[in-house]
Structure 1
Amino acid sequence: MEFPALSHHGGTRSVTGSCHQLHLSPSTSLLIDCGLEQGGEASAGVGLAPIGFDIAGIQALVITHVHMDHVGRIPALLAAGFRGPILCSGPSARLLPLVLEDAYKLGISADPVQLDRYLALLQRLIVPLPFEQWHCVVEQGNVTCSIRLQRAGHLLGSAYVECDVRVEADEASSRIVFSGDLGAPGNPLLRPVRSPERADILVLESTYGDRLHAGRGGRQQRLEAVIDRALVDNGTVLIPAFSLGRTQELLYEIEDILHRKSLVSEGCQGLGDDPLEAIDWSRLPIILDSPLAQRITQAYLELHEYWNYEARQRLSEGRAPLGFAQLVCVDAHAKHQKVVNYLKSTGRPAIVIAGNGMCSGGRIVNYLKAMLGDPRHEVVFVGYQAKGTPGAVIQASEGVQGFVQIDLDGRMREVRAKVMSLDGYSAHADQNGLVAFAAAMASVPAEVRLVHGDVSAKKMLRRALEQAFARKGERVRMLIPS
């Protein structure tokens, strides 16, 4: 085996389970991500099944971001005896314990003593690194490896990883880049992605390598129209959302809508027959019913220095994009049930954001059971619904005329609530974004490996990359690891 070399322990068969090993010598390596393979990408828990590969010689684990399909096997890695540093960005260092604590309680044990022991070990191993600065990770004999984290725009703290490897002192270094998950442009909170200066080997995600996203330009206006309709109908808008990333984007945009609406209503009292004029926008409750999402949102607030300029500017103006006055946080389960019953029985409009994002469990299910049969209410999807999940079934009823039923907790329930899907909220780069990331480098990579995507997405992205490189007069070795 020539060094540096790569082996893949996940992220090759599907969109989940990213885990890549960078071999620097026969006995020395780095691990980039240690993610969980998730059926339907809806699982929240983790397990302690065998890690699936030999961990001897792994000097450090480098985390691109804290979604479970990139970090969910960390408990198994620690159970196998790994005690090296877990290197990640500052925001990821703050978010990782929150995500893994929740998953550990759901999938392994909620015993407080065991949980505290696990979290204490995790905290000892986490090493936050600043963006855009080189950090030497390995220096053994003739082998050296430094890494640099660059913003990936996928969620707060997400990074792609540049690895600069020198095997012999008198040889040029090799640059291996792991994309992690790359974000779509225009995220309201995050700074944009910039392509690396170079890469000899690029390990590139391909989640949406076979499609183009709808533009983000009108998504806030579409969300506003949904809220307007709910206010007129005196209904509840139910938004199933993932706790990390999507929820914070929604809160940011809802705050902006409410900010503008309250200003408009102050200047337009009694100027016509529009029913929305009678609404007191300042009293419209935005209910965040997810304890994990609340903790993550608080962490986002504390990490505001990592937001983009526009978002930080709102803070400087005295606004609270993620902690505004109308935001109601529901923690205890008893309080959750009271909120469900109240909204079901009253005619007061509200917006509810609750987990989980695919309606396969969590608190959103209780809202659906209570409200799906009432046409006053509306279910709004802002993310992908995996085939076979309740969310996918409900989403498929959008625009359908006639009788539609869904099985929730073993009972068939009629879908009479309005259903709508809002485009423009994908956290992943589409095919154009992935091609631009790879093709914009000053010198094209010698090799591109496509991971973290379905087979069709990888094949279509490979074709698009080959065409992009051909336009530059270059041929690049394209691999789809198995």
Structure 2
Amino acid sequence: MPNVNIEHHGAKTGVTGSCHQLHINPENSLLVDCGLFQGQEAGNTRSTQEIDFGTGGIQALIATHVHIDHVGRIPWLLAAGYTGPIICYRPSAKLLPLVLEDAFKLGISRDRQLVEQYLATIEQRLLPLPYNQWHTVIDTPEHRVDIRLQRAGHILGSAYVEVDHNGTRIVFSGDLGASHTPLLPAPKSPEKADVLVLESTYGDRNHESREDRKHRLKAAIDRALQNQGTVLIPAFSIGRTQELLYELEEIISEELPVILDSPLAAKFTAAYRELQPYWDEEAHARLQQSRKPLAFSNLLTVEGHHEHLKMVHHLARSARPAIVVAGSGMCNAGRIVNYLKAMLGDERHDVLFVGYQAEGTPGRDIQRYGPNNGYVWLDDEKHTIRARVETIGGYSAHADQQGLVGFVKGMNRMPKDIRLVHGEECAKRALKEWLDSAIA
């Protein structure tokens, strides 16, 4: 078994804060992702996000994709002295500044001049790469280290990372996508890996099929129409929101408004539209039919905070059915919180979860206690849950157990060492059992 030294600075015992340091020798290393801790894993102090490891020998930061739990600590990494490149796939280079601007404003400063200086630094450091092309990051007589990005199918621009160090192949999965993710081609397994660092978010379960989840989504919408209520969908700004809009364009009538109430999600949806060349064949077929999957006529975007509050009040008081897609995805911040406070107590409405809810987040509490008319704390206020609460697992942008096992089994040469990260302990245990039997 190869002696590979990987230090995990996040996502080792949970699902947020992804950050993995591959030590090449005592003086040199690579960093794969540098993400924000969220929910219970974040604790109650800002110091949780601060960099507690040395940055001097890091030759490159490789960002697998632009979700905040994979890149949100980059402001702190730069503040800690990191001066190297930020390597990512080409679409991620367009999306990353949008994410990091938001992270900087939330965690560091809202001063416009500081934000602009910071974004200029990010732009200078970005090194976009295509898929399937080797790039040398270290070349000395003792150590040759090349990296290659491959399609991960998680969100637009996502990649898994192959590292070749003197002939030893180390693969970091990042977050792998489901095989039926809208807009994106599915990931393909690498040819080989001596060491595989594999995500395990859904290592203990399988998703619904795409047809099943579309049927359940339509059923939730039909109930809202019947009950004269609103379907609230807490959604992550990048990836999940765009996939939902893509599906909604196909299944709803033009009379039902779809309200996108997230400034960040609106920015990313516009960026996704600009990145149409990177969409999959199915999405291009829709475009050729003169359809607009991410810009249909009954899609309404809410801009300012005043307009947001007016929309919350209108939907809570009126009997007009609607679908609201709002951030944040785990209900721990953002505009979805105001909708929840106004509507959780009314049985006409539905809360529909389509993404992972981390332990310690309001989303997990609503998901857990809502079906029994329990309660949740939002902004230090207790709210009884009378709205219907549902979860559609098939809309997760993560591969399920079957997909993760298939990613490993698809290799021509099985890994000698598999290290599971980015998952709760029950998910890791279940996935390990399946992998042990699959590659025995």
With normalisation by structure 2, the TM-score equals 0.93
Aligned letter for 1:299? A
- Conserved? CA contact 2:15–2:424, under 8 Å: yes
Q: CA deviation at 1:4?
A: 5.8
2:190 is equivalent to residue 201 of structure 1? no
2:161 is equivalent to residue 158 of structure 1? no
Alignment partner, residue 266 of structure 1: none
Which range is displaced more, 215-224 or 318-327? 215-224
- Conserved? CA contact 2:232–2:352, under 8 Å: yes
Aligned letter for 1:106? L
Query: Does the residue aligned with 2:307 lie in a helix, a strand or coil?
Result: helix
- Over 3 Å counting, the alpha-carbon distance change for 1:406 and 1:326 in structure 2 is same
- Over 3 Å counting, the alpha-carbon distance change for 1:40 and 1:285 in structure 2 is same
Alignment partner, residue 21 of structure 1: 21
Quote the Cα distance in structure 1 between the aligned partners of 2:262 and 2:321.
19
Q: CA deviation at 1:3?
A: 7.2
2:241 is equivalent to residue 247 of structure 1? yes
Q: CA deviation at 1:66?
A: 1.3
For structure 1, list consecutive stretches of 5 or more residues without a partner in the other structure. Answer: 167-172, 259-280, 471-482
- Conserved? CA contact 1:365–1:408, under 8 Å: yes
- Show the 5 A alignment for 1:452-463: 452-463=422-433
- Show the 5 A alignment for 1:14-413: 14-40=14-40, 50-166=50-166, 173-258=167-252, 281-400=253-372, 404-413=374-383
Aligned letter for 1:373? G
- Over 3 Å counting, the alpha-carbon distance change for 1:352 and 1:283 in structure 2 is same
- Conserved? CA contact 1:47–1:75, under 8 Å: no
CA deviation vs aligned residue, 1:432-479 (integer Å, no higher than 9, x gap): 221211122111122222222223332332222121111xxxxxxxxx
- Over 3 Å counting, the alpha-carbon distance change for 1:340 and 1:45 in structure 2 is farther
CA deviation vs aligned residue, 1:73-109 (integer Å, no higher than 9, x gap): 2112111211111000011111111111112111211
Q: CA deviation at 1:375?
A: 2.8
Q: CA deviation at 1:119?
A: 0.9
Quote the Cα distance in structure 2 between the aligned partners of 1:432 and 1:181.
15
- Conserved? CA contact 1:42–1:360, under 8 Å: no
Quote the Cα distance in structure 2 between the aligned partners of 1:218 and 1:298.
28
Q: CA deviation at 1:397?
A: 4.7
- Conserved? CA contact 1:35–1:68, under 8 Å: yes
Aligned letter for 2:436? E
Alignment partner, residue 423 of structure 1: 393
Which range is displaced more, 118-127 or 281-290? 281-290
- Conserved? CA contact 1:376–1:417, under 8 Å: yes
Alignment partner, residue 261 of structure 1: none
Query: Does the residue aligned with 2:439 lie in a helix, a strand or coil?
Result: helix
Q: CA deviation at 1:257?
A: 0.8
Quote the Cα distance in structure 2 between the aligned partners of 1:456 and 1:285.
39
Quote the Cα distance in structure 2 between the aligned partners of 1:163 and 1:229.
49
Q: CA deviation at 1:429?
A: 1.6
Quote the Cα distance in structure 1 between the aligned partners of 2:426 and 2:365.
24
Identity of aligned residues (%): 58
Aligned letter for 2:195? I
From 403, 411, 418, the counterpart of 1:433: 403
Q: CA deviation at 1:49?
A: 5.4
CA deviation vs aligned residue, 1:233-254 (integer Å, no higher than 9, x gap): 2222111111111111110100
Which range is displaced more, 138-147 or 291-300? 138-147
Query: Does the residue aligned with 1:218 lie in a helix, a strand or coil?
Result: helix
For structure 2, list consecutive stretches of 5 or more residues without a partner in the other structure. Answer: none
- Over 3 Å counting, the alpha-carbon distance change for 1:387 and 1:14 in structure 2 is closer
- Over 3 Å counting, the alpha-carbon distance change for 1:397 and 1:445 in structure 2 is closer
- Over 3 Å counting, the alpha-carbon distance change for 1:46 and 1:329 in structure 2 is farther
- Over 3 Å counting, the alpha-carbon distance change for 1:404 and 1:439 in structure 2 is closer
RMSD, aligned α-carbons: 2.3
Quote the Cα distance in structure 1 between the aligned partners of 2:302 and 2:47.
28
Which range is displaced more, 385-394 or 228-237? 385-394
CA deviation vs aligned residue, 1:219-267 (integer Å, no higher than 9, x gap): 1111112212222222221111111111111101000113xxxxxxxxx
